[in-house]
Every structure is written in C-alpha cells, then in structure tokens.
Amino acid sequence: MALIKKVKRPVLKGEQEYLRMKGLNHSMTSNNDLVKTTNVSLEESNNAVLSNQTYNSNIYQLNNDEACVGEMEKESVKNKNHSAMNRIISFLEENVRMPRKAKVEEDDYYFRIDNITSREGIEGKFGTYDQFLITFSLSQSGMDVPIQITLPYTVSSNPESPLMMFLVHFKPIFQGQSITIKQLVGLQGRCKITHYQNTYGDVYERLEVLKVEQPNQ
C-alpha cells in the first residue's frame, strides 16, 4: 500500500506574501502619485513664473513703446513747427517776401569759432561799411551734430556796438597783446542764443558770450 504524503499548503505565508506585495505596490503607487503631483506642481510653478515674466516683459515693452511714441510725437511737433510748409509769405509790401526764420532755437550752447571772413564796402543808409562774418559751431549735451551759423558784425569802434561787446570777452586771453580778428578762430566757450526781429519780420540769432575757455597751451 502506497504511502500518501500530505503537503501543507502555505496559505498563511501566501497571504502574508500577498499582503506584503500589496503593501509594496500601494507604496510604489503612492510614490508614483507623489512624483506626478510634484511634477504637476513644478510645472504649474514654472508656468506661473513664465506667465509673470511674460507679463512683466509685455508691461516693459508697452512702457518703452509709449515712451518712444511720446518722443516721436514731440519730434514730429518740433519738425512740423520748423517745416517749410509753415513758412510765412508776406504780401504786405510791393514785393512778395518770405521773412527769414531763426536757424537755432533760443538756449544756452557750447560754441567754437570755426571761421572768420569779411565783407567790405557795403552800401547802407548812412554810407558804406564793413562787416566781419563769424562762423560758429553750436552744440549741446546729447546733440549728435553741431549746428553751424554765421553771424555778421559791423566793424565799429563804438564800445557799445555788438562787435566791441563781443570782443571784450576775449580780453583775458589776449591781455597785453595786439591781434587780428583771425586769431579768434579755434577759441571756444559757452554762449546764449536769443532772437530778434527786424522791421521786415525777419528773425535772426543774437549770440551772447557767457564764458571763454582758455586755449590749450
């Protein structure tokens, strides 16, 4: 008679193994969910940062654009005021005239004397006279290219004449010397430009010297 061997089924062990594996799977699932949640949170945070950066960038660009538009509008108004289309045409006299407009705005400038020439034997109401034509370069802070103007000075020895009132500012440089007018070329300093209008409506610049710089030795 054959012997029957009883095999003990590891039910309890299997249940424990099952429960252990189930717990492990649950832990792995929880960890995966935590990773997914963390990734979602990071993605939402990154999106918020990018959105904020985009918003700030748009605000900066908008402000920058508004500033540019403002400057363009100011420049447009300035150019419009100086446009040839706004020049006045006068029919008040026998001849049609277009009065002269000032080339340089009233303000303080740095000046440099670029050149000096003369006109002699000019016929005037009170006889003939001579003129010095002095060419200045005018500049200001932020100005890319200096403005060049030529102003006439009637030759006169009267202390109150425009020429003498101009020359007196150079006395500290040439004290004790005798010079010709050409020796003023190259000198520079600060000046104030104002406007005056003659009886014909022409507007001219008047230059007042504020300071003359000592030339480099």
Task: Please check whether residue 3 lies inside any domain of the structure.
Answer: no
In terms of pTM, does the model score above 0.85? no
> For the chain, how many residues are written?
217
Burial of 95 (0-12, 13-18, 19+ CB in 10 A): exposed
**Could you report the per-residue pLDDT of 133-152, keeping only the tens digit for each?**
999 999 999 889 999 999 99
Task: Tell me: do 122 and 193 sit in the same domain.
Answer: yes
Q: Which of 188, 187, 194 is nearest to 208 (CA)?
A: 194
**Could you report the per-residue pLDDT of 92-141, keeping only the tens digit for each?**
777 888 888 999 999 999 999 999 999 999 998 889 999 999 999 999 99
Task: Tell me: do 130 and 191 sit in the same domain.
Answer: yes
Average model confidence (pLDDT) across the chain: 77
Instruction: Give SS3 for 199.
Output: coil
* Domain hosting residue 166, numbered range: 107-212
Task: Please check whether residue 19 lies inside any domain of the structure.
Answer: yes
Task: Please check whether residue 94 lies inside any domain of the structure.
Answer: no
Task: Please check whether residue 2 lies inside any domain of the structure.
Answer: no
Q: Which of 172, 169, 168, 137 is nearest to 151 (CA)?
A: 137
Task: Tell me: do 59 and 123 sit in the same domain.
Answer: no
Residue 197: CATH number of its domain: 2.40.50
Task: Tell me: do 80 and 117 sit in the same domain.
Answer: no
Task: Please check whether residue 95 lies inside any domain of the structure.
Answer: no
In this structure, of 25-29, 128-132, 133-137, 196-200, the range with the lowest mean pLDDT score is 25-29
Q: Domain count for the chain, please give it.
A: 2
Residue keyed to tokens 């509008």: 73
